[in-house]
Structures are given as C-alpha cells and as structure tokens.
Amino acid sequence: MKLHITSLQLFLMLFVAMTGTVFTSFQSQLVIAAGRDAWWLFLMQGLLIFPHLWLFNRYYQDFKWKGLIAFLYGIYWFFVMASFLGYIGYTLNVWAYPKTPTFVIMLLVVIVLFYLMMSRSETMVNIGVILIPMIILFMVFVYLGLKEAVWTNLFPLGETKFSDLQKGSLKAQMPFIGIELFLLLRTFVPGKVNSRKVMIYGGVWLLFFLQMLVMPLLFFSVEEFRLIPEPIMYMLKSQDVSFMERLDLLFIYIWLAWSFIAMGIYAFSILHLLPQKIRIRRSRNAALFCILLLAVGTQLDSKEAVRMSGQFLQYAHLVFAIALPFLVISGNRIFGKRRGEESA
C-alpha cells in the first residue's frame, strides 16, 4: 500500500531535513565571505525559496523517480548523510568527547539510525514532532543572548565587493540543502497542496535561518567569525545564565537529536528510491546501508574532510536542487507533450 502523509507532515519533515545540521555552521562561511552584508544577501537569496518551492509543487509530477535519476539522488543523499555523520563525529569530538574515538560516537549514531530505519513509515513521518519543544527551548536559549546584542554590528552595509557577494551567494545556498526532498515527499501527499501552505512553510524556513544568522551577527564582530566555525555554539557558550554554566553543552544535544532525525528522513527517502523488489528486504537493506554509512562517515570526520565535504555539497546542491530538477521536469514536459501529440 502506498504511504500517504499530510501536507503538515510533509513540511515538518522538510523543515527538519533542511535545518538538521547546517544551521550551526553556515553563518561563519557566509559572514567571512560577505561581511556585514551577509544578512541582507541571505534575505535576498532566501526569498527565492518561495518561487523554488512553488515550482516544485506545481511540476513535481513531471519529476519521475526512476532509473538513473533515482540512483543519482540516492548517491547524493547518501553523501549528504555521510558528511552529516562525519560532521557530527567531528563536532562531538571537539566539543564534548575529546577522548572518545570518533568511530564510537558515529557507531552510536548509526545504531539509532538503524533502529529508526527498522521502524514503520509512520514513525519516520511523525518523529520530527518530538523536536518541536526542543526547537522552542533552543530559540529561548538563543534569545537569551539579546541582552548582549550590539545592533550596530549589522551596519554599515554596501561595503562588500561584488566578487565577495558572489562568493557569499554560494555560501548562502547551504541552508537550502535538502530542498529537493520536497519533490519526493510531495508524491506521498494525496491531492493538491495549497500554494498558501507552501508560502507559509517558506516563510517559517526563511525566518528561522535569518534569525540564526542575525543573532550571531549581533553578538560577534565580523572579525570574530574567522575564529569561530560554529557561531551559535560559541554564542551559547559565552552567555551568562544563573541556572547553568555551559548552555552550549545542553544545546549540542538538542542539535544532535535534530541531526539524528534529519538523517532518518534522508534514510527514509533513500529507502523509498529503492526498487520494490529490493525494498521488501528491510532489515538487510538497513543493515547494509548503516555499515556503508559508517564506513564512509569515518572517512569524513577530520577538520579538513568536513571543510571539503561542506564545499562539495554547496556545488552538488546547485546541481541536485536546481539544475537537475529543471532539466528533468522540462525534458519530461516537452517530450511528454510530444509523445502525447504523436499518440493522438
């Protein structure tokens, strides 16, 4: 029986997958490239999510998930997951477990992922709900930093060179990673999805990432961003609250839960790309998948590998979220129409 989800479940899955890992780190690269202009540059780029999702929602049926396309996206999402895993291993090693081998941490992540993959589809679809209170708690923690915000950090604008803005535009693509999941997840929603809902989702996404960028900008000077690869974590670490000495330590586990679930959604999507004959052997698929993921993930857990995989994903995202959907949808529409005319 085909899986059916509601539009609300679709947007929750998409939000978790898109925010999952990058929201802690995209700020530094963007601010280093575009300086104080980063926030308006991101705002401009972020507005593109509205037409992007609208087009996906309009033409998703013309994007056929089979053959080479399914294979390419499967490989791409697998690499996204492996780089997430490597990043999780690296970050936990730096922030919380310097003496624990990264492999052990990754193994734990993969065990949870395996259990998630063995669960029924309803669990994968709904598990994002447990993040909602965590996200609210996290936002409260972030906003505790407002009392130390320096509003003038956002200005003056327009000092960045055009070439740097171009570089910044590329970095601003990172929060969009995962948007192409909409094309697959949308097929599980029966009937039409109202454009208004798509716009509301786009607004929530944009507001979330804009806050994640503006808050560290208000907290740190532009020069400091060169020293702090995860500004949100440093921001929480620097905050003085009476009930806890290290807010960042609590946050890191919220982020980790977020990343686990984001990876679960990617895994769910990859499993749905498998041909039906292979898909039925669920436990074998999940075990093989997790072993492979662990093998690749352990190769991506060094500082250099994390940087390289992050840069690779920026370019890969342009191909898989923009170029390939455009080509496939246009191709199917043009050739589909011709075939229709010929058969008529």
Partner 1 sequence: MQIIKNEFKNSADFVVKEVEIAGTAAFLCFYSTMIDAEAVNKQLRLLEDRVDKGANGWGSSASTSAEAFHKDKLVTAICEGSAVLIFPKSNLMLEIKAIKVPERSPDEPVNEQVVRGMHQGFVENFSSNIGLIRNKMKRPDLVVESFAMERTVSKLNIVYLADQAAPEVVQEVRERLSNMPNKEFYSSGQLEDYIEDRILSPFPQFLTTERPDRVTYNLLEGKVAIFTDSSPTTLLGPVNLFSFYESPDDYTSRVLVGSFYRLVRLLAFFLAILLPAFYISVMSFHSEILPVELTTQVKSSVKDIPYPPIFEALLLELFIELIREASIRLPQPIGQTVAIVGGIVIGDAIVSAGLASNQMVIVVAMTAIAGFVVPSPELNMVIRMLRFPFMILAATFGFLGMLIGTLILFVHLLNLSSLNQPYLSPVIPFDPTRFKDVFFRVPYFRPDRQQPFFRLGGKKAK
Q: Which of 43, 48, 70, 112 binds partner 1 (CB under 8 A)?
A: 112
List all residues 6 or more positions away from 202 whose beta carbon is below 8 Å from its beta carbon.
49, 50, 53
Q: Which of 127, 214, 265, 270 binds partner 1 (CB under 8 A)?
A: 127
Q: Does 331 bind partner 1 (CB under 8 A)?
A: no
CB of 100 to partner 1, least distance (A): 8
Angstrom CA distances, 4 to 1, 121, 195, 271, stand at: 9, 10, 19, 16
Q: Is 22 helix (H, G, I), strand (E, B) or coil?
A: helix
Q: Does 188 bind partner 1 (CB under 8 A)?
A: yes
Q: Does 122 bind partner 1 (CB under 8 A)?
A: yes
Per-residue string for binding with partner 1, 235-254, x by CB under 8 A?
-------xxxxx--xx--x-
Q: Does 200 bind partner 1 (CB under 8 A)?
A: no
Q: Does 223 bind partner 1 (CB under 8 A)?
A: no
Between CA 11 and CA 205 the distance in angstroms is 10
Judged by CB, which is closer to partner 1: 49, or 290? Answer: 290
Instruction: Specify the amino acid at residue 32.
Output: I
Angle between helices 38-46 and 162-171 (to 10 degrees): 60
Q: Which of 47, 94, 111, 308 binds partner 1 (CB under 8 A)?
A: 111
Judged by CB, which is closer to partner 1: 23, or 260? Answer: 260
Q: How crowded is residue 27: how many other Cβ atoms within 10 Å of its Cβ?
A: 31
Q: Does 105 bind partner 1 (CB under 8 A)?
A: yes
Per-residue string for binding with partner 1, 4-33, x by CB under 8 A?
xxx-xx------------------------
CB of 282 to partner 1, least distance (A): 12
Per-residue string for binding with partner 1, 63-92, x by CB under 8 A?
-----------------------------x
List, as own/partner pairs, every contact residues 113-120 make where C-beta atoms lie below 8 angstroms and the sequence separation is at least 24, other chains included. Answer: 113/260, 113/263, 113/264, 113/267, 113/290, 113/293, 114/286, 114/287, 114/290, 116/260, 116/264, 116/267, 117/264, 117/267, 117/268, 117/271, 117/282, 117/285, 117/286, 117/289, 117/290, 118/282, 118/283, 118/286
Q: Does 130 bind partner 1 (CB under 8 A)?
A: yes
Judged by CB, which is closer to partner 1: 10, or 183? Answer: 10
Q: Which spans of this chain sit near partner 1 (rule: CB under 8 A)?
A: 1, 3-6, 8-9, 92, 96-97, 100, 105, 108, 111-112, 115-116, 119-123, 125-127, 129-130, 188-190, 242-246, 249-250, 253, 256-257, 260
